[in-house]
Structure 1
Amino acid sequence: MSIALVDDQEAFEAALSFVDEYEASDSSNQQSMSPISPNDEQYVSAESQEEDATLALALDGLPSPTELALVETETEAHGDTDEGIYLTSTDTVNATKNQTSKKTKKRSGTAVKRNKALNYNPNRAREQQRKELLYLRDKVVEMERKLTALQGIRRTNAIESEDKKNEVERDDDPQEFSTASRLETPSVWKEMASHQLEQRLKSERENRRLKVVLEGQIKIGRSLEKLLEASSTTKPMESCVYGSQRTQRIHTSAPDRSDPGMFAELMAGVDDSYHEVDALFRANGLAEKESSYNDAKMREGPDGIYMEMFASKVLPFDVPATGAAAWQYFAKSMEHMPFRFFYQKDPQNLETTDDTIVESFGMELHANGTQADFRVKQILRRYVEEDRVVIVWRSFIDPVEFSGAPLRGADFREKGYIVVRRPQTMASHYALLQTCYIVSPTTPVYSLSDEGAITGALTDFVLSGTAANIASGHQMIENILFNEAMKTHSRV
């Protein structure tokens, strides 16, 4: 055995140097490759198997560690016999033997460790972090995709709402919309509702009062019925003693103190009023008014002092409906007013049309605790244009009684204007009702006999009566529109 070892010394040293190079390369590879991924571990395992196969081929034919141990035991047992043989070799052989034994043991231990399977994953924490990172990356991509989808839906909804808004604005002429119109719209309905509520409460109070009066009248009627039954025998005598008496007030017709050509003059003045309405509304500011408004002015013109009263009211109805209601108020409703008497339409058989009214009537007004009777001659005419309705009139007013005393020489001329148009800052289903009254005395009031007592009282009375007439006219037109709307709604 020893002779074989000496003969194979060169091959043995070559194998040891190959093992040293393998271990050095293996340790460097482990340091450079740590930590490794699961895919890399499979690659390293395959590479290690190839190197192990190469090493086994290189070590084939060399003595194993067990054989080396047996050789050393036999050498120690037969020391004298073998001593001569080993003495023939140099000291290098002994050193080489010891190094070979140590390296062989180390190689065998390394091979055992390499062949031993690991029962845990040394890179578990890193793999967990890597999995979390991959999950977060996938989650970010998913959330970005959802965000993009939501933004697309939001843009789509915004575009649809904008298209709807543009479509509505195209239908209603978008150039005539503004913030003021949006703020004005609810207030118009609120004002109209308050007026209707006030009218309802007033009607309910009147109904309760009339109900009480009716109950009293019923009681009186029953008492009278009993008295009549009890005194039927004395009725002929009483009729002879007490004649029938009437206690009802009768309005006597005052003599016509106006010029016979008054209606012809008023008819010519109606056309003049129509042509001057635009200039008048620009002068008093009604042309620029787009909301409810009222005012009164005392002005001085070429013919003396005159009173100008004007008002503007927004109604939630279109121009044709509001113009028709205004004309219905003047053409049909005014003749049934309780403060009018001796009403006569078209007294001089003038040529009239459906858009012209010629009338003469008496009028009894109460204002500021004062009563006055007037005789009025009046002509009204309606002009229907493409975008508005204009109603104008001229009136001659003759006050015949004031505060219970006859009055003479205080005639008045009245010019009236009503324009129904669409507000420039509102939608097409709104209308602006504008009214202007100009009242001027034909005879200066200061030339009357009782200047101190008549001037202030008559001026205040006419001013208050005209302002009340404007307010009541607007309210009556609103009521007509409201009733027509309710009828239409009930039919639907």
Structure 2
Amino acid sequence: MATVAEISVRCDLTDEDIIPELLSFVETFDTNKLERPAISGNPEQPKPKRVRREKVELDQLRFEAHKLQTELNQLQGIQKCKTMRMKRTFANEQSKHGNRIMATDSKSVWKEVAKHQQDERLRSHTINQELRDRLQAECCLGRQLMTLLHRNTKVRMSPQSRKLPLDDDEAIFKIHLVQAEDSLLEMEKILLQPAFQDPNASFVDTFVRKCGDKKFFVRESNSTLPFTVQVAANAVWNVMGTSKVKDHGYNHHFVHRSDTVLAQTFGIHFTTDASEAHFRTNYTLRRFNDCNRVVIAWVALYEPVELNGLQYKGEICQQIGWMELRDHPLEKTNITNVRSYSRLSVTADNIVQNNEQQMWSLFSIAQQIHEQVEGLFSFHLQEELIEEDWKTHG
């Protein structure tokens, strides 16, 4: 009889093949078929002790075989888990980076990828450096342009090169037309203020407002007229653009005159109990007609020549204003809601820009001029309203 070791050596089996063969051998082993030596005569019965020992050895072999099979199954399961985990990890890494699963031994592919990445880094670095150089050049050019701009501004505002803006009436007329149209955009914002929300309110306010480094003399008013929009608009236009201005000034001249645009120049001699002033004036009116309203905008330049015996040179006063006349229907009649706004600012050359006393003297006289002009305007407006209403309704 051959032993288990001899069987394994003779068959040259692996560890994985030995255990199944061993189990098959042990389970099919029949102790009754053991070869016994032939005995002549009366055969000798095997000893019970020997039989028991062989059974114990056989049971021990079966136990060891089952134990080895269990350990083999455990090792195979662990090996399968490791293999599956490695495959899953590798697949996740490949899907995360968006790369294709490549064979580990394909070194040439990885070399191509590394070379491509190196070329991309070099190209991006070159482009980045070019952009930096271009940005530095543009910054240097911007600083040079800013220096030239400030230099030209100083030269333009210097007393030697400055030309009074009132010397060219046609150029001022074109500038005033643009400023009058721009004032309409500002008008829509100002009319949203709480002071103009009540159409039945009646007020006239004047005050000084500071915006940044500049100061403005502001006038706001709201009132109603018992006439239609067209009657009121025609009367206001006739008063503001009438040739009667020459009765209160001198050197009057019309630069442009039409039904919707009026530009004129004149001089003003203003006197009160406490002040006396001379101004050169350039005045432009622009009329805008809408479906249920009429807007009259004006832009004016005032150059003070003399104030209370003091000669002025270099200061310019600019006024921008508008008047909106809107139809306000009532139960039995129509009235016109009149809302107006104007602001006056003072600009000066570098020589006199620090002379606060002269600038504040102009603001103080602006209040007096406003009161006097308001009285004249109201007086002439009453006459024009009656005349226009008679022309319209007979």
- When normalised by structure 1's length, the TM-score is 0.42
Alpha-carbon deviations, 1:2-38, whole Å to 9, x = none? Answer: xxxxxxxxxxxxxxxxxxxxxxxxxxxxxxxxxxxxx
Residue 327 of structure 1 corresponds to 237
Q: Are 1:344 and 2:229 an aligned pair?
A: no
1:243 match:
none
8 Å contact from structure 1 (residues 309, 467) kept in 2: no
Structure 1 pair 426–366 and aligned structure 2 pair: CA distance change class (3 A):
farther
Structure 1 residue corresponding to 2:370, chosen from 432, 448, 466: 466
Q: Does 1:314 align with 2:224?
A: yes
Partner of 2:156: none
Question: Which residue of 268, 277, 287 maps to 2:187?
Answer: 277
Cα separation, 2, equivalents of 1:450 and 1:271: 33
8 Å Cα contact 1:390-1:417 kept in structure 2: yes
- The structure where strand makes up a greater share of residues is 2
Deviation at 1:379, TM superposition (A): 1.4
1:426–1:339: structure 2 CA closer, same or farther, 3 Å change rule?
farther
Q: For residues 187 and 328 of structure 2, what CA distance do their matches in structure 1 show?
A: 17
Q: C-alpha distance in 2, partners of 1:366/1:422?
A: 38
What letter is aligned with 2:311? Answer: P
C-alpha distance in 2 between matches for 1:272 and 1:434:
18
- Asked whether the 8 Å contact 1:417–1:437 carries over to 2, the reply is yes
CA 1:367/1:282 → structure 2, altered by over 3 Å: closer, same or farther? farther
TM-score by structure 2 length? 0.52
* Structure 1 spans left out of the alignment, 5+ residues: 1-254
Question: Residues of 2 paired with 1:471 and 1:435: CA distance?
Answer: 16
Pairwise CA distance, 1:359: 1.1
Spell out, residue by residue over 1:81-125, the C-alpha distance to the aligned partner (whole angstroms, 9 max, x if none). xxxxxxxxxxxxxxxxxxxxxxxxxxxxxxxxxxxxxxxxxxxxx
Q: CA deviation at 1:302?
A: 4.1
Alignment of 1:226-241 (within 5 A): none
Q: Deviation of residue 279 (structure 1)? A: 1.2
Q: Confirm or deny: 8 A CA contact 1:359 1:378 kept in the other structure.
A: yes
Which of 175, 178, 181 is matched with 1:268 structurally? 178
Amino acid of the residue matched to residue 166 of structure 2? Answer: S
Distance 1:287 1:383 in 2: 22
Cα–Cα, structure 1 residues 392 and 318, in superposed 2: closer, same or farther, change >3 Å? same
Q: In structure 2, what is the equivalent of residue 258 of structure 1? A: 166
**Cα contact 1:367–1:461 (8 A) shared by 2:** no
Relative to 1, partners in 2 of residues 1:414 and 1:488: Cα closer, same or farther, differing over 3 Å? closer
Query: Does structure 1 conserve the Cα–Cα contact (< 8 Å) formed by 2:314 and 2:352?
Result: no
Where 1:282 maps in the other structure, the secondary structure is coil
> In 2 relative to 1, CA 267–257 (structure 1 residues): closer, same or farther, beyond 3 Å?
closer
Q: Deviations over 1:323-364 (max 9, x none)?
A: 11011112225434x221111101xxx6x6420001111111
Structure 2: tracts of 5 or more residues without a match:
1-162
2:342 matched to 1:437? yes
Quote the offset at 1:487 in angstroms.
7.5
Using the TM superposition, give the Cα deviation of residue 435 of structure 1 relative to its aligned residue in structure 2, in angstroms.
Answer: 2.3
Inter-CA distance 482–456: structure 2 relative to 1 (3 Å threshold): same
Contact 1:445 1:451 in 2 (8 A): no
Deviation at 1:266, TM superposition (A): 1.4
Amino acid in structure 2 at the alignment position of 1:437: S
Structure 1 residues 27-176: aligned runs within 5 Å: none
Find the aligned partners of 2:328 and 2:360 in 1 and give their Cα distance: 38
1:423 pairs, out of 305, 328, 344, with 328
1:404/1:319 CA distance change after superposition, 3 Å: same
Distance 1:333 1:283, change over 3 A: farther
Matching residue's letter, 1:325: A
1:366 aligns with 2:271: yes
Q: What is the rounded CA distance, in whole Å, between the counterparts of 1:313 and 1:445 in structure 2? A: 41
| 1:468 aligned partner, one-letter code | Q
CA distance in 2, matches of 1:488, 1:383: 20
Percentage of matched positions with identical amino acids: 20
DSSP 3-state at the match of 2:221: strand
Instruction: Tell me, yes or no, if structure 1 residue 381 matches structure 2 residue 286.
Output: yes
Aligned length: 230
Deviation at residue 471 of structure 1 after TM alignment? 4.2
Deviation string 1:348-389 (CA, Å, 9 cap, x unpaired) is xx6x64200011111112245211111111211101111111
CA shift, 1:462, in A, is 1.0
1:391 is aligned to: 296
Specify the alignment match of 2:311 in structure 1.
406
Between Structure 1 and Structure 2, which shows a larger proportion of helix residues? 1
